[in-house]
Amino acid sequence: MTKKALFYFILSFFVFNNFALANKLTIGYVNFPPYEYQEDGIPKGILVEIAKNIFNKANIEIHLKFLPFKRAFKMTKSGQIDGLFNFYKTDVRIPFFDYTEPIIKNPLVFFVRKDSVLEYSKLEDLKGLKIGVMSGYTYGTRFDKNNLFRREPTNSHDANFKKLILKRIDAYPCDNLVGIHVARRNKLYAKVKILKKPLKVMDGYIGFTKKKHLTTIKKINKIIMKMHSNSEIKHYIYNYIKKSNQY
């Protein structure tokens, strides 16, 4: 190989690699077990596996970056990373983010102490109570802006369950599977119960930086819809429940 040919070979190698890096999407994921979490530096969870499958089927390379929710939110909004999941859609967020089709449904149920007499059917039932929430999360506009009760934010589900047992809050709305997972991990499951009526059933999406990834969204939306129609996404969740013997 001549020097000139070697030069062009090396140049093409770097151009190709830089192109590949430039086209790899960085997607934030957060501490939301069992849907998404990190273990020994490796992305784990139901939704991590679903997201990896979606992007793989679309032939889109991704780098998963583990971040606190607030930082993932800000970095996606500013374009420092390309997207994040699990992400809820609200009127306040729509001007700043583009969304895929919904991937999963998250029933937000109230966890209370075993001896609690609280019965929930409407927001007015929470009047005068202290309700634990996750900092930066949305629970729906009516809940987020309601003045009948006091919201007590913390940065982790574990902290909210510990506050619940210590009677520092009266109830904690949390995704059903997440709450069971966290309560069991902290050996608190026997001390809590779940109220029958959910606060809300939230659709979980992949959110992207506004107006930067419309072609990508269109491409993966077709895959998401197909995975719903053939029950592939349901099977991920069913297999987790079966394996963990949650119910």
Q: Which of 27, 20, 24 has the alpha carbon at shortest distance from 209?
A: 27
pLDDT given for residue 240 in this prediction: 85
In DSSP terms, 38 is beta-bridged to 43
Count of beta carbons in the 10 Å neighbourhood of residue 120:
18
Give the containing element (helix H, strand E) for 221. Answer: helix 214-229
pLDDT given for residue 192 in this prediction: 98
pLDDT given for residue 137 in this prediction: 86
- In the chain, which stretches have pLDDT less than 70? 1-22, 244-247
pLDDT given for residue 247 in this prediction: 44
Domains of the chain in sequence order: 11-104+202-244 (3.40.190.10), 106-201 (3.40.190.10)
Pairing, β 150-154 against β 130-134 = parallel
This prediction has a pTM of 0.76
